[in-house]
Chains A and B, each alone.
Chain A
């Protein structure tokens, strides 16, 4: 057939009726495309990973899925009786507990997604070295399973709003898009860290520190209006600023934080795209160095 390809083996059972896909394997260097079509064709496997994570997460626990809401609820209580008592921390006219909880719910989604994504490759070492699939599925799937936890916490938020008698405006329709914004942010940073984690386990120590620092650099337990207006643009470079202000605006009301969100969205998308490219560039060595 091909003269260049060395010795031929004898055909044993030649039936040439299949014309399956052709896979070409070769050394590739430098940047490569993200491979969205391949990712899409493997979406079923991604759902299996999400399903596995959900099945495993609360197995052999007493409280089960209650853990999903316990974290933001307990933090809300703690912050309400401590930071919440300081004057000017939250906006006037909104109960601080509600204010804190509307921040803590998307924050918890972000923090757990970030931790899950950055650990996703290292914790799947045994399958990465044994079978091929697009590796990007792993950080994506790690994030997906936290959406269920998020939905449970959001259900509690509805109860909380009923209790405080706060009704959202029509802006509430933005919630799905803002959730996506939070996910893209977590995925952007998480995918970067997942790829770096394969080679440098320093990431294990970076993630908790990063999450904690970002929590204080984001308007989770205080309002972003506390930051002087001259510094707002810098503050908004942290994408979670836009996410959290967006959530508060959509649920509690107030002035729409247009410019702030715009800066945050641009920052988030840039981090996300660069993460995809970096991941794809280093992907070829994952199985060798993990």
Chain B
């Protein structure tokens, strides 16, 4: 048994959708519904407001292996990690973990804004499971890794977001659990630092520890994880060598587009949110399939519940492998059209001009941010939809490789007679 680090058997997790939408229940509602439920016979019937985030997931992870977990948004990746790290309990099934477990679901877990970098290293280290002597022993290394120099005695609230990320990751990088569970934390931070972190994680893996790593970035998965679990709609779709699983996933993701009209759950507690995303062709038709020679418009419905100074939308067009091809935010337009929007609903459109992107399938990643929000990230729905572009009007057609479909201007000038 000792060469198995994680065994999952039939794991399932059920959420009540009503509970997720309105986590702040009121006593009166509960009292009322418990009174009325006496008169209703709902027992035994499947309920419409139930939702299985994870269903019948089984696998074994050998000790010392590095396993990637991939899947679309809402496929159950984070739920799986939350169950394995004991943050939430499964509704069904069991999991056994052999060894000390550490989990890293966000960067800077437990940071307190009022405390200094030094104090936060101690606190975050303790919350992530380090002993006091262990933190003291590694303290200098952690500070050196974070590379924040003399700011170590400054309150974290005065840090830039990059510094916070570096310090948070430095603490996490020095965790030494036998099993480490990591949610997409590498998606933040600058590229050089990400590479440094991947290097550090490889070190960890090299020491016979078990690593489970959730990511949307197929590049990171391919370079880090020899084996991969692919989750789809809460179930294991495929498990095996990364070199087999990732191409399958990318192929399936390319086929699977949706309707070009995505509704995003409304959350009344947000100051502003994106509530709907549609893809419009040049003629105004809602479709996830476009043409390289036509423009394509991404239309977002914005629900503004509080006026936010400096509100802006951020957009990335990504390949299914996770590589960003194009990034734009509403600050590209001056003045920023989203700044201080009035309360209510707004339609925001951004148009990708004709002959910009190469034919292929793209994911659209969006977020809203504002310096005057309660938090800087106002709404972060992530990848909200996908579209495909065909190039049916150029000679090369869909066979055109590369990232762009810009038609370059070729000229030939007869110079044989000139100057003769």
A residues near B (Cβ < 8 Å) are 1-2, 4-28, 44-45, 48, 51-52, 55-56, 59-60, 126-133, 199-202, 284-285, 287-290
Contacts and interface: CB of A to CB of B under 8 A. Distances in A.
Nearest to A201: B24
Contact of B83 (A4, A6, A12, A25): A25
Contacts of A284: 88-89
Contacts of A23: 86, 96-97, 101
Contacts of B9: 2, 4-6
B63 interface: yes
Given A25-B97, A130-B109, A200-B26, A9 B65 contact: yes
B208 interface: yes
B92 interface: yes
A44 B127 CA distance: 10
10 contacts: A1-B4, A7-B240, A9-B65, A13-B208, A26-B89, A55-B114, A129-B87, A202-B27, A284-B88, A288-B19
A9 B60 contact: yes
B208 A55 contact: no
Nearest to A24: B96
Contacts of B4: 1-2
Contact of A127 (B1, B25, B65, B109): B109
Given A20-B99, A59-B114, A26 B123 contact: no
A234 to B, nearest CB: 27
Interface string B291-320: 000000000000000000000000000000
A154 to B, nearest CB: 27
B23 interface: yes
B281 interface: no
A15 B205 CA distance: 12
A44 B126 contact: yes
B381 interface: no
Interface in B108-159: 109-110, 112, 114-115, 119, 122-123, 126-129, 131-132
Interface string B9-31: 10000010001000111110010
Given A26-B95, A200-B25, A7 B100 contact: no
A48 B103 contact: no
B96 A22 contact: yes
B341 interface: no
Contacts of A133: 127, 129
Interface in B41-74: 58-67
Given A24-B96, A200-B30, 16 more contacts: A2-B7, A6-B8, A6-B58, A6-B59, A7-B58, A9-B67, A9-B227, A16-B2, A18-B99, A22-B96, A27-B90, A48-B122, A56-B112, A130-B106, A131-B129, A289-B23
